[in-house]
Structures are given as structure tokens and as C-alpha cells.
């Protein structure tokens, strides 16, 4: 049955033959425009979790889960990870085109100008327990930035919107790195203008005040790739959260802190930590068949972490890039991580297993990212914070897009009410 016929069948049975329009994007499935559903037919659409709902129009990122395709502004993620730098990608996401040299220079200068946190922000850090989770600190500190940039911020003005967006991208490396240095009791460091974005993050994370930090170009490039791969993924939970918060006209720093809160959940940003725990638990290649058998057992809640994806029913294209990068970094650092061997063998065995083939379960981006981040020296607790650092360019791009969409008002989902019908307060009570 074609889309039109389906909608006609549903709607027109008792309501005449009026149909709901079908909208076509540049690529991907068509969408039924149900905006008139309630006013015209007194009907709501029921779609908890938004699995069949396009919540907005967007021209930033395209995902084809069946084919394993991810495009930022039309460019395949593999090409961007190979050829571009994170700031170019951030510019692309925000403004729609790759920057010319002069545009990239202006962006770099702005990042340098805004990269240092206001010194008063440091007192917020000191308010946290030193062992607080970096994501808890990030939610607080980014939200608190709204207190610094609110009174004079007019989000109706495009140049001020761009300034706020660049400020956020600029400050995130120092915010994330300071979460870590505060936690281990080392003095925080500032960005250094001569370094690129990723190198700066590494020097703020791992540099010591006592000596000059030597950037390892292989690690800086790997860092850049991680940031590029995680920069955006269309209307995922955290991006949708940012958009919903932003739809009321809220302060952009407060909006991004809602995205960080959503990302923190284990079902979203925390899976790579779970993959490491699983690989450690497996411990040896010879134990893989046991783990696979457990993952297939319906009476066991055990799942292969880093396998499967809500949208990708094929290889997550980011997983291939991360796997290659993890091998390069381990080789460069002359590290022999047995977890990588277990992961690669696990992938091989699972991909030949009927259970995983039938259900289209492939490795996702998290399968190798934990191994890579750990090899680079990051503690597990920083994994999601790094995801948040990367995703900030995506979040601000969606925030900018939403502010410029005059047809999109405040988000206000409805519900299927299943509570008590009307009843009255007892007279004798």
C-alpha cells in the first residue's frame, strides 16, 4: 500500500476523502504531514520515543541506517575523518559549507579569543567534590556560563547567536580538561594559541605546569578524528533535548547543558565504558564463545555491548574509522592491548553468527572508541565528557538552525492520557 493510500485508508474512512500531505526531503523516507491531524480530525499521533516521527526539518546531518551512511552537510563521515580537521567540520556543521582559508582563520581567531574560561568560573569547580563525575561537573559549569552571558545576549540577532555558538565550541576543551585536572588535584591549564583545537585539549588534559607539553601528532590526529566522528548524529536524544529546550527561547548555555545531561545516560553516551568492562570480563579470546552464547540466550539479559544500534542496521561507518585509528595509535605507542585482540576476534565471530546476521547487529561507534581513548591515556570517566566536547559543535548547529526556522514554535508534545477520568473531591473528607 502506498503512503497516500495508507493515510487515506486511516483518515478518510469516516472523514470524507481529505488526505494528509506527504513531505519529501532531499533523501530518506517521506513524511506524512500530520500537523492538521488534531485540528481537522480531533486525533493525536501516538509515537512514544519518536521512532516514526520527524520532529523537525533539518539540513545538517543525514543518516541512512540500512546502508550504514552518515553525511554531514552531504559529505561522507569517512572522507571528513580522513581529510578534514575538527574546526573545519564544526564550521561546516554550523554554516553549511566547508570554510575558505580566510573564513577558517577568522574561526580560529575567535576560538583563541574565547577559549579561556572567565576566572570566576573556576570557583564553580571548587564547589564540587573533587571526586565528582566529570559529566556532573560539566552539566553544572556549562549551565552556569549562562549567568555570565545572558543579560547582553540577544538571540534574535544573528551575529550574537554565532558569537554564543563559537564561545561554546571554544570553551569546551578547557571545561572538559579542567573537570579532569580538578579531579586529580593538578592545577588547570589554559589553551595556547599556537596549538590547534585537539592538541590544545590534549595539553590541557595531560600537560604539567612544570614543563612544556610536547604534542604527539599521531595522538592529536586521533583526537581530531574522535571529535569529528562524534560531532553530530541528527535528532538523537541529546540533540533533541537541546532543541526542545531551545524552542522556548532559553539561554544557549543552559540549552547545551541539557544536552550534556541527556548524553550522560548509559543508553546514549556511556556505552563505550560498558564495552571495556565487557571485554575485561571476557578476559581471553578463548572465552568469546561463552560470551556469544550468553548474548544469544533469551533468558539472560547479557548483551554484546557495542553491538547493534537503534538506527544502523548495517555497519556504523564510524566504527570502521575508529577501529583503524585504534590500531594506528596502539602501534605508534607500541602498546599491546589484549582487549583489542579480544574485540577484533569477537567482531569476527559475531559477524559470522546467524543470530547477529539475522538481527542485523553490527559493531557501533562505541565498540572500539573505549580502547582508543584508553590507549591515549584517558581515564574511563572522561569518555562521555569527550563525547560532549565533540558533540557541542553539533548541538550549537542545531540550536542555530532552530533559531533561524521561523516556522518552528515552542515544542509541546501531547499525550495519550491513561489516568483517572474526572472525579470529585469527597464531601465528607
Nearer to ligand ACO, 84 or 271 (CB): 271
Among 306, 317, 370, 394, binds ligand ACO (CB under 6 A): 306
Kindly state whether residue 294 participates in binding ligand ACO, applying the rule CB under 6 A: no
SS (H, E, C) 296-317: HCCCCCCCCCCECCCCCCCCCH
Among 268, 327, 332, 345, binds ligand ACO (CB under 6 A): 268
Burial class (CB in 10 A: 0-12, 13-18, 19+), 205: buried
Query: Which residues touch 354 (CB under 8 Å, ≥6 apart)?
Result: none
Question: What's the gap between Cα 23 and its chain centre?
Answer: 27
Stretch that binds ligand ACO, among 158-166, 188-196, 200-208, 307-315 (CB under 6 A): 307-315
Cell 571529535 belongs to 227
Say whether 332 is catalytic. Answer: no
Residue nearest to ligand ACO (CB): 308
Stretch that binds ligand ACO, among 73-81, 206-214, 304-312, 336-344 (CB under 6 A): 304-312
Shortest separation between residue 303's beta carbon and ligand ACO, angstroms = 4
* End-to-end Cα, the chain, rounded Å: 57
State the alpha helices, DSSP H only, in 352-382: 354-358, 366-375
Nearer to ligand ACO, 6 or 302 (CB): 302
Residue 327: count of CB within 10 angstroms of its CB:
16
Nearer to ligand ACO, 16 or 49 (CB): 49
Q: What is the pattern of x (binds ligand ACO, CB under 6 A) and - over residues 345-384?
A: --------------x-x--xxx------------------
Question: What's the gap between Cα 56 and its chain centre?
Answer: 17
Distance between CA 352 and CA 288 in Å, rounded? 13
Among 208, 310, 341, 413, binds ligand ACO (CB under 6 A): 310
Shortest separation between residue 266's beta carbon and ligand ACO, angstroms = 8
Cα–Cα distance list, 233 to 55, 236, 240, 372 (Å): 14, 6, 11, 20
Q: Which of 309, 332, 353, 398 is catalytic?
A: 309
Helices 366-375 and 383-403 cross at an angle (nearest 10°) of: 120
Nearer to ligand ACO, 178 or 384 (CB): 384
Residue 121: count of CB within 10 angstroms of its CB:
18
- Say if CB 383 and CB 369 are below 8 A apart: yes
- Say if CB 390 and CB 226 are below 8 A apart: yes
Helices 252-263 and 237-246 cross at an angle (nearest 10°) of: 150
Shortest separation between residue 346's beta carbon and ligand ACO, angstroms = 11
Shortest separation between residue 190's beta carbon and ligand ACO, angstroms = 31
Q: Which of 224, 232, 316, 366 is catalytic?
A: 366
Distance between CA 391 and CA 385 in Å, rounded? 10
Question: What's the gap between Cα 116 and its chain centre?
Answer: 24
Nearer to ligand ACO, 60 or 350 (CB): 350
Among 177, 204, 291, 304, binds ligand ACO (CB under 6 A): 304
Shortest separation between residue 389's beta carbon and ligand ACO, angstroms = 15
Nearer to ligand ACO, 90 or 361 (CB): 361
Kindly state whether residue 309 participates in binding ligand ACO, applying the rule CB under 6 A: yes
Shortest separation between residue 282's beta carbon and ligand ACO, angstroms = 13
Report the residue count for the chain. 429
Say whether 268 is catalytic. Answer: no
Stretch that binds ligand ACO, among 132-140, 298-306, 335-343, 419-427 (CB under 6 A): 298-306
Among 295, 322, 372, 385, binds ligand ACO (CB under 6 A): 295
Distance between CA 159 and CA 85 in Å, rounded? 24
Kindly state whether residue 408 participates in binding ligand ACO, applying the rule CB under 6 A: no
Shortest separation between residue 365's beta carbon and ligand ACO, angstroms = 5
Query: Could you write out the DSSP letters of every residue in 183-204?
Result: HHTPPP----TTS-HHHHHHHH
Active-site residues: which are they?
A: 309, 366
Residues that bind ligand ACO (CB under 6 A): 268, 271, 295, 303-310, 359, 361, 364-366
Amino acid at each position: 500500500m502506498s503512503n497516500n493510500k495508507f493515510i487515506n485508508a486511516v483518515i478518510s474512512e469516516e472523514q470524507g476523502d481529505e488526505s494528509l500531505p506527504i513531505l519529501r526531503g532531499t533523501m530518506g523516507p517521506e513524511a506524512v504531514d500530520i500537523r492538521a491531524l488534531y485540528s481537522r480530525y480531533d486525533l493525536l499521533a501516538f509515537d512514544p520515543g519518536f521512532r516514526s516521527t520527524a520532529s523537525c526539518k533539518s539540513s545538517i546531518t543525514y543518516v541512512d541506517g540500512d546502508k550504514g551512511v552518515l553525511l554531514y552537510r552531504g559529505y561522507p563521515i569517512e572522507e571528513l575523518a580522513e581529510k578534514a580537521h575538527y574546526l573545519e567540520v564544526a564550521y561546516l556543521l554550523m554554516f553549511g559549507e566547508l570554510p575558505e582559508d580566510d573564513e577558517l582563520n577568522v574561526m580560529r581567531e575567535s576560538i583563541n579569543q574565547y577559549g579561556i574560561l572567565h576566572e570566576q568560573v573556576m570557583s564553580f569547580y571548587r564547589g564540587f567534590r573533587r571526586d565528582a563525575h566529570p559529566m556532573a561537573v560539566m552539566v553544572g559549569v556549562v549551565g552556569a556560563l549562562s549567568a555570565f552571558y545572558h543579560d547582553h545576549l540577544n538571540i534574535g540577532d544573528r551575529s550574537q547567536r554565532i558569537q554564543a555558538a563559537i564561545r561554546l565550541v571554544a570553551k569546551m576543551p578547557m571545561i572538559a580538561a579542567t573537570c579532569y585536572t580538578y579531579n586529580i588535584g593538578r592545577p588547570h591549564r589554559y589553551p595556547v594559541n599556537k596549538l590547534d583545537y585537539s592538541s590544545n585539549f590534549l595539553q590541557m588534559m595531560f600537560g604539567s605546569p612544570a614543563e612544556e607539553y610536547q604534542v604527539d601528532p599521531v595522538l592529536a590526529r586521533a583526537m581530531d578524528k574522535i571529535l569529528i566522528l562524534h560531532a553530530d548524529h541528527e535528532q538523537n536524544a541529546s540533540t533533541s533535548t537541546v532543541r526542545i529546550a531551545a524552542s522556548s527561547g532559553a539561554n544557549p548555555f543552559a540549552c547545551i547543558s541539557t544536552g550534556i545531561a541527556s548524553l550522560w545516560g548509559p543508553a546514549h553516551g556511556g556505552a563505550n565504558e560498558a564495552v571495556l568492562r565487557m571485554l575485561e570480563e571476557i578476559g581471553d579470546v578463548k572465552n568469546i564463545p561463552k560470551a556469544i552464547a550468553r548474548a544469544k540466550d533469551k533468558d539472560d539479559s547479557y548483551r554484546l555491548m557495542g553491538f547493534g544500534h537503534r538506527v544502523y542496521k548495517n555497519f556504523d561507518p564510524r566504527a570502521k574509522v575508529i577501529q583503524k585509528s585504534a590500531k594506528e595509535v596502539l602501534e605508534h605507542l607500541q602498546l599491546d592491548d589484549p582487549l583489542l585482540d579480544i574485540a577484533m576476534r569477537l567482531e569476527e565471530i559475531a559477524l559470522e553468527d546467524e543470530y547477529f546476521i539475522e538481527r542485523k547487529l553490527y559493531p557501533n561507534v562505541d565498540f572500539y572508541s573505549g580502547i582508543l581513548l584508553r590507549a591515549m591515556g584517558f581515564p574511563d570517566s572522561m569518555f562521555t565528557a569527550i563525547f560532549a566536547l565533540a558533540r557541542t559543535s553539533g548541538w550549537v548547529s542545531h540550536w542555530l538552525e532552530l533559531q533561524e526556522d521561523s516556522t518552528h514554535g515552542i515544542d509541546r508534545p501531547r499525550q495519550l492520557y491513561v489516568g483517572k477520568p474526572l472525579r470529585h473531591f469527597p464531601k465528607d473528607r
